A = this chain, B = another copy of it.
């Protein structure tokens, strides 16, 4: 079958499956998740075998070691995929929840009920575990899902897709509730992005380039995660010991992720007592400092930051530092250079804490806590399917609720409009 027909056929089947799946019980959905979880473990040898084909292919293509590492399914990765599904089983089913209900003067009882979104397309890169994680969350929220992983992970994703479909069928859910696109060519993505008659939402997961490509070519709504240029502002009068711990954690604990701090803003009143010790801690952890002129005047050996440093998502042991004259200057800096991802203030001042929370336009804004908490699990949503950096439909980490919408339900007893 030509690629186009294959993809359209998958999209059509997904839509039919979504209608059926929306009415299925929590019990059946959890049963499917449990079966997938068990079968992943039972079939781990087969999975690793298929995965080795991908690794070989990647080696031949000369992919970097880092990419091959992300691609590789070890026993522990497989185990954590299975455990992830068990965690999703424990989350309460959002579908059917009435989130609000009110009475109208004419005695109509009006409520909002959570419903699945329909068909979700996930477009992702090399990590095959996304196949399982995304399928689990979409299924639990009652959505049919079309998975399109990276071509490097082709064989791994195919075997995982087969395991999922076997389990879904056995749990009496429609088989097409989860489909992995069996096409390596990138053309499949373009065709998928045009199926706005069948697909309700696209979630790309990967680097900025992939996300821009998807956003530009999609006729279907896209939940986007661009970059995380995260800031911490250390206010005058902050508890400096607390500030050091938070800033150190935000930069050093895992520098390669989107919620790590990239720029530190420090109020001029505490720059002198705070920065030398802080920078010393960073240096010991191997962090390179790029400072504004005032920062370079206070700490020795810092590189001077260039304009592009304030925009940079380093994802590495590099930190830009700027001394500011006020919280307003800090907020303005964030508004100009930030990415609406995650921002934190360290302060002891009640009024400024609340003002920072209100005025900073980011998906997660924190007082006296590390930026590293921008994560569905850490914030208490359970597993997440990604982080949205735009405000339509979802902003910040997306859990099960963000994979649903709401409809209005109205209980009447004969009301008509006059």
Chain A residues proximal to chain B, CB less than 8 Å: 19, 22-23, 96, 102, 104, 108, 110, 113, 115, 117-118, 196, 200-201, 215-216, 219, 221, 239, 242, 245-246, 248-250, 253, 335, 353, 357-359, 361-370, 372-374, 378-380, 390-397, 405-418
When all copies of this chain in the complex are counted, the total is 2
Nearest chain-B residue to A242 (Cβ)?
B414
A113, A370, A417 pick with most chain B CB within 10 angstroms: A417
A372–B417 CB distance below 8 A: yes
Distance in angstroms between the alpha carbons of A405 and B418 in the assembled complex: 34
Q: Which residues of the partner chain B approach A397 to less than 8 Å between Cβ atoms?
A: 408
Does the CB pair B358–A392 fall under 8 Å? no
Partner of A408 from the list B245, B335, B364 (CB cut-off 8 Å) is B364
Which B residue sits closest to A103, measured CB to CB? Answer: B380
CA distance A119 to B149 in the complex (A): 34
In contact, A416 and B201 (Cβ under 8 angstroms): no
Q: Are the C-beta atoms of A253 and B370 separated by less than 8 Å? A: no
Q: List 10 A-B contacts (CB under 8 A).
A: A19-B335, A242-B414, A248-B416, A353-B411, A364-B409, A366-B410, A369-B412, A372-B416, A391-B405, A395-B407
Check A412–B104 contact: CB distance below 8 A: no
Bound-state Cα–Cα, A215 to B359, Å = 32
Asked if B110 contacts A200 (CB within 8 A), the reply is: no
Q: How far is the CB of A366 from chain B (nearest CB, A)?
A: 4
Cross-chain contact A405 with B395 (CB below 8 angstroms)? yes
Residues of B within 8 A of A362 (CB): 407
**Would B249 and A417 count as touching, CB distance under 8 A?**
yes
Residues of B within 8 Å of A417, CB to CB, are 249, 253, 370, 372-373, 378
A102–B381 alpha-carbon span in the complex (Å) = 11
**Are A411 and B367 in contact (CB-based, < 8 A)?**
yes
Contact status A379-B110, CB under 8 Å? yes
Minimal Cβ-Cβ distance residue in B for A397: B408
Chain B residues near A369 (CB, 8 Å)? 108, 410, 412-416
Task: Say whether A108 contacts B416, CB under 8 Å.
Answer: no
CA distance A414 to B102 in the complex (A): 40
Contacts of A335 in B (CB 8 A): 19
Tell me the nearest residue of chain B to A408, going by C-beta: B364
Q: How far, in angstroms, from A246 to B372 measured CA to CA in the complex?
A: 55
Complex Cα gap A201–B196 (Å):
18
Q: What's the least CB distance linking A237 to chain B, in Å? A: 15
Cβ-defined partner of A410 (8 Å) among B113, B118, B364, B415:
B364
Query: Nearest 9 A-B pairs (CB), nearest first?
Result: A369-B412, A391-B405, A249-B416, A366-B410, A372-B417, A393-B393, A368-B412, A369-B415, A364-B408
- Enumerate chain B residues within 8 angstroms of A373, measured Cβ to Cβ: 108, 410, 412, 415, 417
Q: How far is the CB of A177 from chain B (nearest CB, A)?
A: 16
Identify 14 new A-B residue pairs, CB closer than 8 A, beyond the known A253-B418, A365-B409, A372-B416. A102-B380, A108-B369, A108-B373, A110-B379, A221-B221, A221-B392, A242-B414, A250-B416, A364-B407, A365-B407, A370-B415, A373-B417, A392-B392, A392-B393
Are the C-beta atoms of B246 and A117 separated by less than 8 Å?
Answer: no
B246 near A361 with CB under 8 A, answer: no
Contact A358 B96 (CB under 8 A): yes
Q: What chain B residues lie within 8 Å of A363 (beta carbons)?
A: 407-408
Contact (Cβ within 8 A) B115 A361: yes
A366 to chain B: which residues have CB within 8 Å?
409-410, 412
For the complex, give the distance between the alpha carbons of A412 and B365 in Å: 11
By a CB distance below 8 angstroms, the chain B residues around A405 are: 391-392, 394-395
A418 to B221 CA separation, bound complex (whole angstroms): 36
Q: Which of A219, A359, A373 is the most central at the interface, judged by chain B CB atoms within 10 Å of its CB?
A: A373
Taking a contact as CB atoms closer than 8 A, the residue among B245, B364, B409 that contacts A414 in the complex is B245
Q: Report which of B248, B357, B412 forms a contact with A113, defined as CB distance below 8 A.
A: B357
Residue among A19, A219, A335, A408 with max Cβ neighbours from chain B (10 Å): A408
